[in-house]
Amino acid sequence: MKRVLLLALMLGACGREPATAVADSAGARLEAAAETAGIVPDPNAPLQGSWARDTDRVCVVGIGKTARIGVSIDYGEDQACAASGAVERSGDALKLAFGTCKFDARFDGDRIVFPAEVPEACESLCTGRASLAALTVDRLSESRSEAATLRSTKGKLLCGN
């Protein structure tokens, strides 16, 4: 999409075809078809829903600038994390706040990726050697009701009321 906008601005500056013709160009149609086919992630995809990879789970409930987020990691034998908090989205950047544990993550439309290093304050959310660091989850569902049912290993609702 950025390429289409840049091309439209360049063409407009040169006095060529109007920008509306560029939106219907072969390149724009190809990019739209790739997004529709799921080859290219949609940068405007909703964040709300259920996310998972292996035993790692994330829920996001709420539409708009700020939403509730919950994380459950379960590696068994007292190796787990559970966190509830808020997430604020700005494009592909996510600002996460689980109490005093605050950090930025990435969202590409198909996946949420936590940074490889998280603040020391996040250690209190985990037991054993488990960590929130480098958590990566893929979308399972955009359903609010499904996301609101995610529970920690101790049965606490992580995104519910």
Distance of CA 115 to the CA centre of its chain: 12
**Residue bearing the bigger pLDDT, 156 or 5:** 156
Helices 26-37 + 2-13 axis angle, to 10: 170
pLDDT in tens, 117-155: 999 999 999 999 999 999 999 999 999 999 999 999 899
pLDDT at 38: 65
By three-state DSSP, how is residue 18 classified? coil
Other CB atoms closer than 10 Å to residue 77's CB: what's the count? 8
Amino acid of residue 158? L
Three-state SS sequence of 45-67: CCCCEEEEECCEEEEEECCCCEE
pLDDT at 135: 98
- The reply to whether the predicted model has a pTM over 0.85 is no
pLDDT at 93: 94
